[in-house]
Amino acid sequence: MGAIQVTGLGKAYRQYASRWGRLAEWLLPFSRPRHQQKWVLHDISFAVAPGEAIGIIGINGAGKSTLLKLITGTSQPTRGTVSLQGRVAALLELGMGFHPDFTGRQNAYMAGQLIGLSAEDIHALMPEIEAFAEIGDYIDMPVRVYSSGMQMRLAFSVATCKRPDILIVDEALSVGDAYFQHKSFNRIREFAKQGTTLLIVSHDKAAIQSICHRAILLEHGRVAMEGEPEAVMDYYNALIADNGNLSVQQTQLADGRTQTVSGTGEAAVAEIGLYNARGEVIEVVKCGEPLELRVSVQVNTDLDALVLGYGIKDRLGQVMYGTNTWHTGQVLKQLKAGQRHQFSIRFPANFGVGSYSVQTALVDSDTHLSANYEWRDYAVVFDVINADKPVFAGSLWLDSQIEITP
């Protein structure tokens, strides 16, 4: 079983005013320093227990890839320590360790030995590597003729041909096609079930929330937040819309979940509720039952435009459905402070059995990145039960019809 312990990790690079400063410092080692240190990681500490899956998120430049390089040993920290227990397989930069003039098969042998496999192990696993990569005759061609997706297929197949104790994956999987991404994440999930410790960097919210037990948000090289994946992703979602006037509040709900409310406050949800066909507020609904989401929005300052968006999420935080009044052509224009507007959203509860929540967004366009008046997670929470439908699996009720002919 693999484990990771990161303690007080920091990384700084030397910056010189000119190339002559670098030369002078090299020729005169005992003279005054002629460089400044640019810190890209500051005092990072966390532990990953055996069998645990951790997601690392953050905007570009937050230090995610640098952190993984320090953990895997491809770069050395300026301060702090990293302790790893178990065999590590890492997939960092695309084609890392591949020689362009060697064939895919030759590179597979070299890459396999770099992760601790013997030549005999690789020879025995080669049929499985070829089958998973699905690159056909290209396996015996030079890597320089490969597309980026083919390199990704081969690199992932080699790194995961034998279940490692620790699997570390950067955003390299985003290069592959949708089919191979799905196939790769299925293998990662299987490893997780078998006890592999996972450390994953991804912008894919669904992947982080479905695979990981915890998430760590990096901001400006520091740990900004650590906790449940959905709560961390909600906080991250609020941060990327920060325009200087935005506030972010997180509240612990009675069921232990964390609600994130962010925005400028120029407009806000005053009231919200989920109603059945009889106009009663409900928290437990039957699969297929007609529902109405009523939202009352208070305008606090004069606004040029107001868009209401909503999404329905499952218990893992993955959006089952979402849209907004920008896409439906119902944008409100030229609003005055003090106005209140009522929105009624009707839909059937065609969801599988489980717990769901509604998130709302008040913005000025099709995204919250330009103006985030209010973003509210867990605005409404409800449970779906199957009272009168045939037994089915999944998160969606399709009311399918099956015909059998002789």
Domains annotated on the chain, with CATH: 3-229 (3.40.50.300), 247-385 (2.70.50.60)
Confidence of residue 13 (pLDDT cuts 50, 70, 90): confident
- Tokens of residue 53, six digits: 């899956």
**Helices 178-193 + 148-159 axis angle, to 10:** 10
Provide the 10 A C-beta neighbour count for residue 347: 12
**Range ranked top by mean pLDDT from 31-40, 145-154, 336-345:** 336-345
Q: CB atoms < 10 A from the CB of 24, how many?
A: 14
Lowest mean pLDDT among 233-242, 301-310, 377-386: 233-242
pLDDT value for 172: 62
% the chain with pLDDT above 70? 96
Instruction: Give the Å distances, CA to CA, from 330 to 222, 255, 303, 306, 343.
Output: 41, 35, 15, 9, 11
pLDDT band at 93; cut points 50, 70, 90: low
**pTM of structure:** 0.73
Q: What is the pLDDT of residue 9?
A: 93
Output DSSP code: residue 202.
-
